Amino acid sequence: MGKRMDAAELGAWRGFLATHARLVRELDEELRAAHGLPLSSYDVLTTLESAPGRRLRMRDLADEVVLSRSGLTRLVDRLGREGLVTREECEEDARGAFAVLTDAGARALADARPTHHDGVRTRFLDALEGEDATRLRELWARIDT
Amino acid sequence: MGKRMDAAELGAWRGFLATHARLVRELDEELRAAHGLPLSSYDVLTTLESAPGRRLRMRDLADEVVLSRSGLTRLVDRLGREGLVTREECEEDARGAFAVLTDAGARALADARPTHHDGVRTRFLDALEGEDATRLRELWARIDT
DNA sequence: GGAATATCGTTGCACTTACAACTACAATAC
DNA sequence: GTATTGTAGTTGTAAGTGCAACGATATTCC
């Protein structure tokens, strides 16, 4: 029990944390500066965009973007105030609510996407070599189970 | 400009974000429950422990743990109140301050470490195969430059 | 059918964090 | 040497987030 981390393991873990912190901070700042859109909002908008009917139950959306329910309630409030998302009630379950991407939301996303994609590419994807991307994707899948 | 992400790239990036969010949340909760120590505090304590003289300038410490200066000021305040860290003034630079790990801080760290290492191992390191750890470490280094 | 239990989304509250402004000091320019 | 500019750390303030508790509805069990 409690096998020590060797140097490679320690580097893999601490690098993971440090890289994430730095990248997310930079990408968030970049997105806010260029489009007034925080990364967390961008994340919600893309998730909704790729959902069937551009809509998702609050619960499922919270899971997808890894946010607490209350956190998502507030985030959707903010996006609603800007007209990027609306709420719709759920027919099958009267407790439930959908968050729905509006046309304005889709446009805001289309505007912001090039900036963000470039940012991710230069800071992250460009460092991937050979089969790195595939291996990483498989790694996250293994961890997720 | 703006080359589209392919499926592997998208998976590598989104998995990176989602995995980080989930892992950090779980590890933080685990550490708080078992030792009353948030992950951010743990991070400061280990960083100090492995620094020469168990001390670091506030500025350097903030960089290491990827926190803003003001954020670090408050975090060191909290750790100081619990007696895990003290401040010392800097001789060469009268503006400067060191954060120094106390013996109590070192003990708290020693207590918490097994819990945290087990958590990291079962959630992250156990999923690494073959040369994964080494490759990851190299990847973070490439990204960092 | 009715009671107990679980789930959905929201709210009150506390906590953590970042940004901007500030003071104190250091380094550079002239 | 003095003026300018830069840096270290702290503080006021505001934003974002999670937890616990809540009202409303669903589901399960008898």
pTM: 0.90
In Å, what is the CA distance from B22 to each residue of A39, A89, B25?
Answer: 17, 29, 5
pLDDT of amino acid B1: 60
User: What does the pLDDT look like over A65-116, one tens digit per residue?
Assistant: 999 999 999 999 999 999 999 999 999 999 999 999 999 999 999 999 999 9
How far A91 CA sits from the closest chain B CA (Å)? 30
- Say yes or no for a CB contact (<8 Å) between A144 and B18: yes
Nearest to A125 by CA among B33, B130, B74, B139: B139
pLDDT < 50 positions in chain B:
none
**Average pLDDT, stretch A13-35?**
92
Q: Is A114 on the interface with B (CB under 8 A)?
A: yes
CB of A97 within 8 A of CB of A58?
yes
Strand D neighbours (CB under 7 Å) are: A 38, 40, 66-71, 74-75, 78, 93-95; B 25, 29, 57-59, 62, 69-70, 72-74, 76-77, 87, 90, 93, 95-98
pLDDT of amino acid B15: 93
Neighbours of B64 (CB within 10 A): 19
How many whole angstroms separate alpha carbon A65 and alpha carbon A72? Answer: 9
Tokens of B144: 């960092």
Q: Is A130 on the interface with B (CB under 8 A)?
A: no
pLDDT of amino acid B145: 77
pLDDT of amino acid B64: 95
**Average pLDDT, stretch A42-64?**
97
CB of A18 within 8 A of CB of B139?
no
CA of B67 to C1' of C27 (A): 26
